[in-house]
A and B are shown apart, each in its own frame.
Chain A
């Protein structure tokens, strides 16, 4: 696809040669990881297509918006209220940050021992190889961890970067702080479009994203709530969760529903992508930005299947909607929005016990067979929180395996050994559970 878009990339100031290298690497692993899977739903075609045009057609689309004076905002966190950007008819998207490819260039400026997501994202800017970063009017960073907030200071020297102050506790005074941050954000977006957002516009932005989240909730239920049938692989499920941060929200919603219709048929026909004995695994913890498909690929080529991601790229992103019923003023809408955002159970909060209860409930509802706690290397918040979470899970007699890893391939062998042993013990338990007696 690259040649077709060379002119566009040039205008975005990208390093075209390096970007080609990146796309070639991606196009080599994508067929191997995704297209070779057995028994894929037919409606995955759309998502394969989006992936093939993720640095092409989609960029053309958002640049069209830019020409019309609409805001383009790049983000790294589900705390940035996209409803406001969408209400202004702009585009709000996640920035590249899931590849090892850009990390050596980031380490020119950043320490080695910080999380790979931050390094990768920063590296993409240094390399000028992410067309989303390049086309954005500005980046909105946040203060969800130490490494991020200090990196934004450096990133700001390369690209306009603003920082939202995300509180780390959820008392009234912190909610007030968050409220003023969201109002400031709205003002900033209004400055780009040079007028104030109307009630109708803001409401429409919220409704578009609500519908998108509803579609993703539906997909989540179909993936996990039917213990006898897994209608779609975990890799494909993860891919859709990843694409939700790039694609046009309304088209995406429609396509997810079309896929869900097919999955419903599959469930009716008991058409599963794996055999009935396959352990169904929930993954909890830190987000997996594309092309980080490492853990899912290991699990699903080792005899397990993943039915859910309790992560920011996943369930944490779509679990709550904004209630707009009876909202009469812009302030009403803003209040409802704030309420919803304060339900995000990110490990940056202390305490964050609601997350633990939620995980146990999710596990029970889905009758899952085990949990993998996934933490990116050096993600201190999720990594430390794992102790509390895992202790509780073990007290509930839930099998859990913790994996800490980055984007490199050097530990794939070790992780495979661990996952294999974990699945072995989970399978044994699953067989024992289905023992009917003599």
Chain B
């Protein structure tokens, strides 16, 4: 089997494909202090013909197993292409960064943008807000869709936005309204980043952030384009890594 592993800042994702590119293994772990040990334990006894690593921990996996590495940009382009072979633009919202990738034929990429350092406009931002408002992350999008008022979140920094959230809570603002404001501020940043690359259709939205339905809808509204979400949006990097290994076979 051909494995791809994406060691992200929050989760470690593992995908196994067979020779026909069929999915035979899918697994997500929290990224701990020893992701290489987690992967070793999980893959022990399995038939691993190739393992390719991507994500922030990719070089650690390279050191541990001699696994080749590819950048997350390449991995996401390849992963999205696997699900939609007419993809032109990938928008990815991960735990620690967000990126927009222009995909050319065969799932290669041509250009990309990434957020600057800090958690502004990343998945972490959503996670912190959902935690503060005590809403489970998986339900956060649906929950915020119930908003009846627009609340502006002006801070771009996750730390300061948290204090902004706290002061809104103190003003008795409804949590769904605050949540809507948070998601909208992220959608604004993502849309601006996407626009700087002049996004073409088809647009595919990936990463843990794509699991937030409100975020998807707001992005569609701001870009005035339809957005597609693959099955397992969180696993795109791992898919791309696994596919790269398969290409070598």
Contact = CB atoms under 8 A, between A and B. Distances in A.
A417 B112 CA distance: 12
B117 interface: yes
Interface in B68-116: 70-74, 96-97, 108-112, 114, 116
Given A410-B117, A414-B114, A417-B56, A428 B71 contact: no
Contacts of A428: 108
B117 A421 contact: no
A404 interface: yes
Interface string B114-131: 101100000000000000
Contact of B73 (A404, A410, A411, A417): A417
B116 A411 contact: yes
A410 B96 CA distance: 12
A100 interface: no
Given A421-B73, A421-B74, A424-B74, A414 B117 contact: yes
Contacts of B71: 417, 420-421, 424
B116 A421 contact: no
Nearest to A425: B109
B74 A417 contact: no
B112 A414 contact: no
A408 to B, nearest CB: 8
Interface string B189-209: 000000000000000000000
B109 A421 contact: yes
A421 B112 CA distance: 9
Nearest to A420: B71
Contact of B117 (A405, A420, A424): A405
Interface string A396-429: 0000000011000011011001101100110010
Label chain A's interface by main secondary structure: helix
Contacts of A405: 117
Nearest to A419: B71
B137 to A, nearest CB: 23
Interface residues on B, range: 10 to 19
Contacts of B56: 413, 417
Nearest to A413: B56
A86 to B, nearest CB: 41
B110 A425 contact: yes
Nearest to B116: A404
Interface string A23-66: 00000000000000000000000000000000000000000000
Contacts of B72: 417, 421
B30 to A, nearest CB: 19
Q: Which of B96, B97, B110, B116 has the most CB of A within 10 A?
A: B116
A424 B70 contact: yes
| Residue of B56, B70, B117 contacting most chain A CB atoms (<10 Å) | B117
Contact of A417 (B109, B111, B114): B114
Nearest to B114: A418
A417 B97 CA distance: 10
Interface in A130-149: none
Contacts of B114: 414, 417-418
A424 B70 CA distance: 9
A298 to B, nearest CB: 12
Contact of A414 (B97, B108, B109): B97
Nearest to B75: A421
Contacts of A424: 70-71, 73-74
Contacts of B96: 414
A425 B102 CA distance: 12
B117 to A, nearest CB: 3
Given A414-B97, A417-B56, A418-B73, 6 more contacts: A414-B96, A417-B71, A417-B97, A421-B72, A421-B112, A424-B74
Interface of B: 56, 70-74, 96-97, 108-112, 114, 116-117
Q: In the A-B complex, list the 7 residue pairs whose CB atoms are closest, starting with the nearest.
A: A411-B117, A421-B73, A421-B71, A420-B71, A414-B117, A418-B114, A424-B71
8 contacts: A410-B117, A414-B114, A417-B72, A417-B73, A418-B73, A418-B114, A421-B72, A421-B74
Interface of A: 404-405, 410-411, 413-414, 417-418, 420-421, 424-425, 428
